[in-house]
Amino acid sequence: MNGGEQTIIFHNKPRIVAGYGIVGPKEGEGPLADYFDEIAKDDLFDQKSYEKAECKMHLLAIERAIERAGVNESDMCALLSGDLLNQIISSSFSARELDIPFLGLYNACSTFGEALILGSIMIDGGSMQRVACSTSSHFSTAERQYRYPLELGTQMTPTAQWTVTGSGCSVLCREGEGPFVAAATVGKVVDYDITDANNMGAAMAPAAAYTIATHLKETDRKADYYDAIVTGDLGIFGSEMLHQLLLSEGIDIAHVHMDCGKMIFDEKQKVHMGGSGAGCSSSVFNTYFLQKLHSGELRKILFVPTGALLSKVSSLQGESIPGIAHAVAIEVE
C-alpha cells in the first residue's frame, strides 16, 4: 500500500481459525439467539459491578476463542483488544489475566475492524504467527459512562440505539483452516457535522459510505462481488442513510447490505434504531457470520465495523461527532 491508498491486499491469507461470541440476556432473546456461543443468564456475570462484568465477559470470549482454536495461551503472539470504557479497562484488565503480549486499541465501535486489520498485517508480514482480536461493550457500563445513571430510567430518543452487551474474539493464524482475510481498507475520519449524540447512525454512515466506496474503487470491484456487505452498528436510520449516500455515488448496496446492529435485536425489543457498541459487530461476526462462512452460505463478505469518535467532553465542548469505518474482506475457498 502506497501513500494515498487505503487498501491492503493480503498475500499470505491470514486465517480466522476460531471465533467466539458471548452476549447478555437481552441479546440472547433476539433473532440471533441460536447463533451465539454463549448467552449470559445475568448481565452482572456474578460480578460486583457492571465494569467487572464486562471485563469477565471479555476475558471469557478471548479464552474460549483460544481454546476453540486448539492452542494454548502461551501459543499466542499478541492480543489486540479494545472497548468503549474510559482507558479501555475491560480490555486491559482482561489482558492482565492472560500471559499474552497486549496491544490496546481504540477506534470506538469500529475497533474490532481495526483489530482484524492489524492482526492480519502482523500475520501476513510474518512478524507474528498467531494473534487474538477482541472487543466488548456492555449496555450498563456504556449507559452510565456516556449518558445517564441507570437508576434515572431515562427514555431513549427516537434515533437512539441500544448498546449491546456482548464480546467477540477471533483467533488469526498463519497456518490452519478457516475463512481468510483477503484484503482490508483502513478508514479515515469523516465528519458530516452531526452533533446529536443520540443519533450515532447518522454520525457513522458517512464514514461507512466513504470506506465502502474507497474499497470498491481501489479493488476495482462492484458491490455484488460480495455475498454480503456487513456494517457494524449503523442501525435502521444509519443503514438507510448509508444506502442513500452510496446511491448518490452510483453504488447500490441495498441488496447485499446487512447491519449487525439491525440484526441483533427484534423491533419488539424496544431498542429503537437497533444495537450498537464495540461488542455488537464482534459478537455477531464471530458467531453468525463465521458460521455462515463455514457452511458456505456466504463465501465472500466485506465486514465494515463503524465507529463514532466522540467523548462526553467533546460533545459538551460543542464538537461534532466524527465517524470512522474499517473494511475487512473475508473469503472462503
- Give me 162's grid cell: 441500544
d(CA 114, CA 116): 6
Query: Are 97 and 149 within 8 A, CB to CB?
Result: no
DSSP H or E stretch at residue 314: helix 312-316
Of 38, 102, 256, 291, the residue at the interface with its own copies (CB under 8 A) is 102
Closer residue to its own copies, CB minimum distance, 87 or 247: 87
| 103 binds its own copies per the rule CB under 8 A | yes
Region 270-329 residues binding its own copies, contact defined as CB under 8 A:
309-314, 317, 319, 322, 324
Burial class (CB in 10 A: 0-12, 13-18, 19+), 194: buried
| 101 binds its own copies per the rule CB under 8 A | yes
- Annotate 290-313 with DSSP letters as a single string: HHHHHHTS-SEEEEE-EEE---HH
d(CA 239, CA 256): 12
Closer residue to its own copies, CB minimum distance, 56 or 262: 56
Of 16, 23, 32, 121, the residue at the interface with its own copies (CB under 8 A) is 121
| 54 binds its own copies per the rule CB under 8 A | no
Closer residue to its own copies, CB minimum distance, 129 or 291: 129
Closer residue to its own copies, CB minimum distance, 52 or 294: 52
| 143 binds its own copies per the rule CB under 8 A | no
**Phi and psi torsions of 222, nearest 5°:** -95, 160
CB atoms < 10 A from the CB of 97, how many?
A: 14
Binding residues for its own copies, per CB under 8 A? 1-6, 8, 10, 48-49, 51-52, 71-72, 74-78, 82, 84-89, 92-93, 95-96, 98-108, 111, 114, 117-118, 121-122, 124-130, 145, 186-189, 191, 309-314, 317, 319, 322, 324
